[in-house]
């Protein structure tokens, strides 16, 4: 038996596009002599469909697509992810299912048992968990078909409170009792640079534990905040990775099951990308798909001469093309000459249209207008925020007039501690770097400049500054980023308490101050644009903290 893995980029609720892509891969696999072609979790409707699952016509479109796809499964079988109806009057209306299609019809439907409700996942909101487990027989092979989390039953909780495992049942353990020949896992597993090796190890360990070959199919593409990296793979019964599909791009490959079962396949070695390269590729894909799937083409941003806006511009150009990006340079009286020249140099290096709009006179008008109200009061952050909001207004004017989406350039370090201005530099339709710490920003800059200097060296080397007052530096208000980012990572990604973080050698007062800043600025993050997620714990849908909590 030959199995084809089809790693595709699906668009949520675009049933026609998803259906056509699936049918095209079925026809391709048939021409290649495959007996079975496998697609990812909820491939028919895209992942995650969220509250669209509560709409009757959405479900009916899913079923119509499955029926259409089944008609093409003549002389070949397919495994396709889609929601299915729960016939039981008790429980949720739907299952998260895998349809086994053959002979032009639906032969078997397998339901997902383990429904994640952590981080960005909320599947139990929509789906009923499966409690029965049966292998599928096809072409003299017995297949243990699992859906994403069903193979992750023994994973530890991120914040376990003494619990070693999240789940009380092992779907694969149940299926193993029925003597399957192979494991198939279809998934919609989003990218997280600090969890990729853990995910891979889970599949390797499962194949080795059950002594069965494993076929894993993941989707690729960006769906708002979430970015799916693909990385589908085949692992032999000893836990050797035989083959891996591409990451961050569509891919397809056919495998001979007998060779795999008999151990006649040699382990496959691929070039391992560094974390910074994967983050770069993920962000480019995230921008590209956000625009393509939302029906937009052009972007704008404020180019300050600083490293954050420089990185955002490079990524936007690589995602959309330089003809689809336009920037504004908005110097104030506190902008240094080299910030302006650095910004111009970058725009010209990338051949991007730019306009220089000084805000000095506009700012003076604001200050003069407010003079009688502010009389007798010393200047403070208020005057700094006015400048940021002037820039925000001008950028949004460009966005409105030309139909460009404004890209937000704030990084995760700033977002964490509230180092940003609401309705100013926090404006935007998409936050590109909101899940990237400042120290990682510098790594991205060096990666971008590895072969030729695209970002001016001075932009990378100069001390970070908002340039909203004379001689301002970020370090005036914040700890040095190499310290700040470590503490933030321990607190946000690792979910450690202040007392636990202090044990790593950090000053207690500093740790308390940083955590207080994070907690106090939840209200700001509540108003940020969608953030492209590249870590295991991004701000946004995966981190839900009450704004009014006493912290």
What pTM, to 2 d.p., does this model score? 0.94
Q: How many CB atoms lie within 10 A of CB 30?
A: 18
Pair of tokens at residue 490: 């321990």
pLDDT at site 18: 98
**Bridge partners (DSSP) listed for residue 366:** none
Q: Are 39 and 22 in contact (CB under 8 A)?
A: yes
- Give the per-residue pLDDT at 365: 96
**Strand, helix or coil for residue 14:** coil
Please tell me the distance from the alpha carbon of residue 506 to that of residue 446, in angstroms, as a whole number: 28
Structure letter (DSSP) for residue 406: E
Please give the Cα distance from 235 to 1 (Å, whole number). 16
Helices (H) and strands (E) in the chain, counts: 17, 19
Beta bridge partners of 185: 146, 216
CA angle 467, 468, 474 (to 5 degrees): 55
Q: Could you give the CA distance from residue 247 to residue 218 in angstroms, rounded to a whole number?
A: 10
Q: Which CATH number fits domain 278-474+521-525: 3.40.50.620, 3.40.50.300, 1.10.3720.10, 3.40.50.970?
A: 3.40.50.620
Q: Are 308 and 411 in contact (CB under 8 A)?
A: yes
Q: Rounded to whole angstroms, how far apart are CA atoms 275 and 440? A: 10
| Catalytic center residues | 41, 112, 148
CA separation for the pair 235, 260 (Å, rounded): 9
Residue 211 and residue 214: Cα distance in Å, rounded?
Answer: 9
At 163 the pLDDT is 47
Which segments of 388-546 are extended strands (E)? 405-408, 430-431
Q: How far apart are CA 448 and CA 392, in angstroms?
A: 27
Q: What is the pLDDT of residue 156?
A: 56
Q: What CATH class does 2-268 carry?
A: alpha beta
pLDDT in tens, the chain (551 residues): 999 999 999 999 999 999 999 999 999 999 999 999 999 999 999 999 999 999 999 999 999 999 999 999 999 999 999 999 999 989 999 999 999 999 999 999 999 999 998 888 999 999 999 999 999 999 999 999 999 999 988 765 554 454 457 788 899 999 999 999 999 999 999 999 988 888 899 999 999 999 999 999 999 999 999 999 999 999 999 999 999 999 999 999 999 999 888 888 777 767 788 999 999 999 999 999 999 999 999 999 999 999 999 999 999 999 999 999 999 999 988 777 788 999 999 999 999 999 999 999 999 999 999 999 999 999 999 999 999 999 999 999 999 999 999 999 999 999 999 999 999 999 999 999 999 999 999 999 999 999 999 999 999 988 777 666 677 777 777 889 999 999 999 999 999 999 999 999 999 999 999 999 999 999 999 999 999 999 999 999 888 888 888 76
Domain ranges of the chain: 2-268, 278-474+521-525, 479-520
**Which of 391, 432, 407, 427 is closest to 301 using CA atoms?**
407
Contact 5, 260 (CB under 8 A): no
DSSP three-state, residue 216 = strand
Gap between the Cα atoms of 450 and 429, Å rounded: 30
């Amino acid at each position: 038996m030959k199995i084809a893995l089809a790693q595709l980029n699906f668009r949520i609720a675009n049933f026609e596009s998803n259906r056509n892509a699936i049918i095209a891969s079925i026809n391709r696999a048939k021409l290649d002599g495959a007996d079975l072609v496998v697609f990812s979790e909820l491939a028919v409707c895209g992942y995650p469909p969220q509250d669209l699952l509560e709409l009757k016509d959405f479900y009916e479109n899913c079923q119509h697509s499955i029926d259409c796809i089944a008609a093409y499964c003549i002389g070949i079988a397919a495994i396709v992810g889609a929601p299915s109806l729960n016939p039981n009057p008790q429980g949720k209306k739907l299952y998260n299912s895998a349809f086994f299609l053959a002979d032009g019809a639906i032969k078997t439907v397998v339901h997902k048992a383990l429904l994640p409700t952590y981080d960005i996942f909320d599947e139990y909101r929509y789906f009923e968990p499966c409690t029965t487990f049966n292998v599928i027989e096809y072409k003299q092979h017995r297949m243990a078909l699992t859906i994403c989390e069903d193979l992750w039953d023994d994973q530890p909780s991120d914040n376990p409170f003494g619990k070693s495992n999240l789940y009380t049942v092992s779907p694969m353990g149940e299926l193993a009792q029925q003597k399957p020949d192979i494991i198939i896992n279809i998934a919609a597993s989003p990218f997280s640079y600090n969890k990729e090796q853990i995910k891979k190890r889970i599949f390797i360990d499962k194949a080795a534990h059950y002594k069965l070959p494993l076929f894993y199919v993941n989707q690729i593409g960006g769906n708002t905040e979430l970015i799916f990296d693909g990385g589908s793979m085949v692992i032999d019964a000893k836990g050797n990775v035989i083959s891996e599909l591409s990451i961050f791009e569509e891919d397809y490959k056919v495998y001979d099951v007998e060779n795999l079962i008999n151990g006649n396949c040699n382990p496959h070695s691929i070039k391992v990308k560094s974390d910074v390269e994967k983050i770069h590729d993920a962000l480019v894909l995230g921008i590209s798909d956000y625009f393509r799937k939302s029906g937009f083409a052009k972007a704008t941003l404020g180019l300050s001469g600083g490293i954050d806006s420089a990185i955002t511009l490079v990524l936007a150009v690589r995602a959309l093309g330089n003809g689809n990006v336009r920037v504004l340079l908005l110097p104030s009286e506190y902008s240094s000459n080299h910030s302006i020249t650095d910004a111009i140099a970058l725009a010209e290096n990338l051949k991007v249209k730019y306009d220089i709009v000084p805000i000095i006179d506009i700012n003076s008008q604001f200050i003069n207008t407010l003079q009688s109200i502010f009389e007798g009061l010393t200047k403070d952050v208020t005057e700094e925020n006015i400048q940021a909001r002037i820039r925000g207004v001008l950028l949004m004017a460009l966005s409105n007039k030309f139909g460009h989406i404004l890209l937000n350039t704030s990084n995760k370090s700033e977002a964490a501690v509230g180092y940003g201005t609401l309705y100013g530099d926090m404006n935007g339709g998409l936050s590109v770097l909101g899940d990237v710490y400042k120290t990682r920003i510098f790594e991205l800059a060096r990666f971008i400049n590895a072969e030729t200097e695209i970002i001016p060296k001075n932009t990378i080397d100069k001390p970070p500054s908002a340039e909203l007052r004379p001689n301002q530096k970020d370090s005036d208000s914040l700890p040095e980023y190499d310290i700040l980012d470590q503490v933030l990572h321990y607190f946000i990604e690792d979910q450690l308490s202040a007392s636990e973080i202090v044990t790593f050698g950090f000053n207690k007062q500093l740790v308390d101050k940083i955590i207080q800043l994070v907690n106090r600025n939840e209200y700001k993050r509540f108003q940020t644009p969608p953030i492209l997620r590249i870590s295991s714990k991004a701000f946004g849908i995966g981190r839900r903290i009450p704004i009014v909590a006493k912290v």
